[in-house]
């Protein structure tokens, strides 16, 4: 078997990636304080690792045992590296089993801590970042995305303000010891350190290709001039991000903290800009504004409600925002005229008339993170822990498990049977978690708190897309899913999110159900047929950006990618792309047949694609009697002839 160059797998990665009124009460929806614990300096953000919680504080990281949420206990502290002063922009997260911290200062740092002993984080890296005044990052695979915002003072703090800057940034964190800024969204009017001309105050992924960014048109010294905006940004290529849509939010000057659930997005904003002199209990002027968007078309959010409240923006406005239950969006950083601190809860059960309620808190809440029905809220006084409604159990609709290459459906629109070892897309309800994608050589057992079982066997996870028009998770069907001796069966599938399982849904399994990966990732495009003489893709010239494409001659050897060939010999482990055979060849037990333009093709190999979990490779010789043209059909049929794949197209000469 010829080994494919790693660069060609980028095509496959593209494929799997594509897979207000004021109300009283809202009983049962309000956060309920369970317990709290003081930290030595104000707690700014929080990372969660099971029952161990880490707060990134102004002067230290506090390790907290939260096994008993009513009585959390500080178990230790860690001193981060110095950045030249007190750190208010310090952002913690737990990623790939490590605690990571983005620490603003001179210099700004990306710091990583080993959590082999969760109670004793050990610093393993601290790398200078060429960015300042950033907000919290969200992580997708090996990428981190974050916004930045800067204000410039004449004669030093507190002003007057003479300029504003900001940006939306992508950063490669494949190596925590070598984070690399890859792309920015704004024109770099203020240099690479500060970015463009507009403050960015929050970002959230819609999926792996789109993000929503909170920003403004206010710039320079005109802090009370401009309008708040929500940007839709294409993040599919982190090196070259682009703004798809800019939505003006009436009655606002600065938008903060977009949140998403299903087809609804919510933002919190201020009707005024930066206060001068800056920045005490009221860094921003004006009133708090809540806006609800319909994002049925994610590239074109539509405002359905825009409510100016009587509440005022506090110093932590926009720093904390989370979804705490179905149609429930919670924000912190809200104050009244007496500078008392509040949560603001937005209920979008009726999105055109959201119910908005405030609940007083004992301190300024600086950030929030949800785990199941628990809310962790770092505050000026320490960590506060609340009970929240949480989200309903996830659901999987009947017939919504599809081959992730072919997306094959029957006449009723239900997904057809899938095979052991297949990559599948499982369409679900909106999930109370964040988007995630695998970033290791083997597939993990869970991603972002989401796990899947087939027939009570854990399924390796590929990705999680928790929101949007079609939320779904992508996973690999375990090779051992069929009971011994059976070639087909209907088995239960369960999706679990943050410990809450869905109701089991029956899914048909057969021994072999091939699906061909195509570009675009719909199961109906160009097959990834690679010419082994020059590693070009058999497609019309220039039809796949970034790859050499031209028709393949008849008689030429080539290979293409599929999923769903079934069990291999020697066996391949679940979630693994490694073949243990001495010659590196793990063959499908049930060898398929292939036709090119209806002409049978000679197969020299059909089995595990080396290094790529859930992906199979078929090597063929293009038949001498195959038709020529740019849209010649490529079809795979299961060994028993019962399952015919989707039709990919190839260019033949």
CB neighbours of residue 499 within 10 Å: 11
pLDDT at 454 over 50: yes
pLDDT digits (tens, 9 = 90+) for 471-497: 999 999 999 999 888 899 999 999 988
CA atoms within 13 A on the CB side of 469: 10
pLDDT at 625: 97
pLDDT at 390 over 90: no
- What is the pLDDT averaged over residues 280-289? 84
- For domain 396-510, the CATH architecture is Sandwich (2.60)
- What is the pLDDT averaged over residues 261-271? 91
pLDDT at 27: 37
- Of 544 and 24, which is predicted with more confidence? 544
**Stated pTM of the model:** 0.64
**What value does the mean pLDDT of the chain take?**
90
**Alpha carbon separation from 64 to 165, 591, 625, 645 (Å, rounded):** 36, 55, 70, 53
Fold of 29-64+97-116+126-315+341-387: Methylamine Dehydrogenase; Chain H (2.130.10)
pLDDT at 325 over 80: yes
Cα–Cα dist 627/649, whole Å:
12
Name the least confident of 156-170, 327-341, 624-638: 156-170
pLDDT at 1 over 60: no
pLDDT digits (tens, 9 = 90+) for 36-50: 999 999 999 999 998
Distance of CA 37 to the CA centre of its chain: 31
pLDDT at 2: 45
| Ranges for all domains in the chain classified under CATH 2.60.40 | 396-510
Name the least confident of 261-265, 531-535, 641-645: 261-265
- Of 468 and 395, which is predicted with more confidence? 395
- Of 142 and 51, which is predicted with more confidence? 51
**Alpha carbon separation from 309 to 109, 287, 320, 357 (Å, rounded):** 38, 6, 18, 10
- What is the pLDDT averaged over residues 501-505? 88
- What is the pLDDT averaged over residues 306-329? 91
85: confidence class by pLDDT, cuts 50, 70, 90: low
| Ranges for all domains in the chain classified under CATH 2.130.10 | 29-64+97-116+126-315+341-387
* Percent of the chain surpassing pLDDT 70: 94
């Amino acid at each position: 078997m010829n080994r494919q160059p790693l660069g060609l797998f980028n095509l496959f990665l593209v494929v799997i990636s594509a897979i207000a009124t004021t109300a009283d009460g809202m009983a049962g929806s309000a956060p309920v304080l369970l317990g709290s614990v003081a930290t030595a300096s104000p707690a700014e953000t929080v990372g969660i690792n099971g029952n161990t919680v880490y707060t990134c504080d102004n002067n230290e990281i506090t390790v907290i045992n939260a096994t008993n949420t009513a009585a959390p206990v500080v178990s230790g502290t860690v001193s981060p590296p110095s950045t030249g002063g007190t750190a208010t922009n310090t952002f913690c997260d737990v990623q790939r089993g490590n605690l990571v911290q983005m620490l603003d200062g001179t210099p700004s740092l990306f710091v990583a801590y080993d959590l082999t002993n969760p109670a004793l984080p050990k610093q393993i890296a601290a790398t200078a970042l060429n960015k300042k005044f950033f907000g919290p990052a969200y992580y997708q695979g090996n990428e981190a995305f974050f916004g930045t915002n800067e204000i410039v003072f004449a004669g030093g703090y507190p002003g007057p303000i003479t300029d504003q800057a900001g940006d939306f940034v992508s950063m490669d964190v494949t190596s925590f010891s070598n984070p690399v800024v890859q792309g920015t969204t704004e024109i770099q009017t203020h240099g690479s350190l500060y970015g463009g001309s507009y403050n960015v105050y929050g970002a959230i992924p819609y999926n792996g290709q789109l993000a929503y960014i909170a920003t403004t048109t206010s710039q320079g010294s005109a802090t009370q001039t401009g309008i708040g905006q929500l940007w839709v940004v294409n993040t599919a290529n982190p090196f070259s991000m682009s703004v798809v849509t800019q939505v003006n939010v009436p009655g606002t000057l600065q938008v903060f903290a977009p949140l998403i659930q299903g087809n609804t997005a919510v933002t919190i904003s201020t009707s005024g800009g930066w206060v001068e002199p800056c920045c005490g209990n009221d860094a921003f002027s004006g009133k708090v504004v809540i806006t609800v968007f319909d994002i049925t078309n994610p590239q074109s959010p539509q405002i359905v409600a825009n409510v100016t409240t009587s509440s005022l923006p506090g110093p932590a406005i926009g720093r904390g925002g989370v979804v705490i239950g179905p149609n429930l969006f919670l924000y912190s950083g809200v104050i009244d005229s007496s500078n008392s601190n509040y949560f603001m809860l937005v209920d979008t059960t009726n999105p055109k008339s959201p119910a908005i309620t405030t609940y007083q808190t004992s301190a300024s809440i600086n950030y929030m993170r949800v785990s199941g029905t628990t809310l962790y809220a770092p505050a000026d006084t320490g960590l506060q822990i609340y009970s929240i409604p949480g989200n309903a159990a996830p659901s999987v609709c009947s017939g919504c498990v599809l081959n992730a290459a072919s997306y094959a459906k029957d006449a009723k629109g239900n997904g057809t049977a899938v095979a052991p070892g297949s990559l599948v897309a499982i369409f679900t309800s909106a999930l109370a978690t964040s988007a995630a994608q695998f970033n290791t050589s083997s597939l993990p057992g869970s991603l972002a708190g989401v796990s899947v079982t087939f027939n009570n066997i854990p399924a390796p996870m590929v990705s999680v897309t928790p929101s949007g028009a079609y939320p779904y998770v992508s996973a690999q069907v375990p090779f051992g899913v069929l009971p011994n001796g059976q070639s087909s069966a209907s088995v239960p599938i369960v999706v679990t999110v943050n410990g809450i399982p869905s109701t089991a849904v029956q899914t048909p399994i057969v021994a072999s159900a091939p699906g061909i990966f195509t570009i675009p990732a719909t199961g109906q495009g160009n097959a990834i047929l690679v010419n082994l003489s020059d590693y070009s893709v058999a497609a019309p010239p220039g039809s796949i950006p970034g790859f050499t494409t031209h028709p393949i001659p008849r008689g030429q050897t080539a290979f293409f990618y599929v999923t769903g060939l079934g069990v291999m010999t020697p066996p391949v482990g679940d979630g693994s792309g490694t073949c243990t055979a001495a010659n590196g060849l793990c063959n499908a037990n049930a060898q398929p047949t292939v036709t090119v333009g209806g002409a049978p093709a000679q197969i020299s190999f059909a089995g595990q694609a080396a290094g790529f979990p859930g992906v199979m490779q078929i090597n063929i010789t293009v038949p001498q009697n195959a038709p020529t043209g740019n849209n010649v059909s490529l079809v795979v049929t299961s060994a028993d002839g019962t399952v015919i794949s989707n039709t990919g197209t190839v260019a033949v000469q």
